[in-house]
Amino acid sequence: MDVRLAPWSEPALALLCSINTPQMRRHVGGPEPEDALLARHRRYLDMPATGSGCMYAVLLALPGTAEEEMVGSIAYFRREWRGEEIYETGWNVLPPYQGRGIAAAAGAALVALLRAAARTPGTPRHLHAFPSVDNAPSNALCRRLGFHLLGPCDFEYPRGSGTTMRSNDWCLDLTSR
């Protein structure tokens, strides 16, 4: 399977709209209204310039062609968590593509990118994921990617909203193999 990460772009708004469904957003509070979705898209576009992280579209090569299809998203964000500057990650894969190893391939690509970045002084050394305690596929993906479960926690999502969800705190040391 040929999976590639591409920095977020204007055409990725259609992907974001496809992700904004009750099924896809059931673990994170449900779909967002259009104005919030457009604001999220703008934040994703601006992330690299602010140094706060990067959102990627997950692209799947279509067999027998030179074309790719946007099938999901994955990101990393810099943030402070429990007194440490960390990277946080989160992902989505559209339902027709789930269960095919796409999230694992995208996660491995993101981890490789961040392992390289972690060699630079002043960058976070740990990557955390905070899937809902009820999101079995995302928790399994964390385990598959080599994260260690630190335990359940109350996690604010979206950041700055004041809304908390019960999550598992998974951590990956980017400086070890």
CATH number at residue 59: 3.40.630.30
Closest CA to 19 of 74, 64, 63: 74
**Residue 74 is part of which domain span?**
3-173
* pLDDT of 45 higher than 80: yes
Q: What is the pLDDT of residue 57?
A: 98
Which of the residue ranges 6-20, 54-68, 127-141, 152-166 would you say has the lowest mean pLDDT?
A: 152-166
Structurally, how many domains does the chain consist of? 1
Q: What is the pLDDT of residue 29?
A: 77
Which of the residue ranges 25-34, 93-102, 116-125 would you say has the lowest mean pLDDT?
A: 25-34
Q: What is the pLDDT of residue 157?
A: 75
Q: What is the pLDDT of residue 63?
A: 86
Q: What is the pLDDT of residue 50?
A: 92
Percent of the chain with pLDDT over 90: 79
Which has more confidence, 26 or 9? 9
Q: What is the pLDDT of residue 22?
A: 84
How far apart are the C-alpha atoms of 95 and 18, rounded to whole Å? Answer: 10
Q: What is the mean pLDDT of residues 55-59?
A: 98
Give residue-wise pLDDT tens across range 63-105.
888 899 999 999 999 999 999 999 999 999 999 999 999 999 9
Which has more confidence, 18 or 176? 18
* pLDDT of 161 higher than 90: no
How far apart are the C-alpha atoms of 15 and 58, rounded to whole Å? Answer: 10
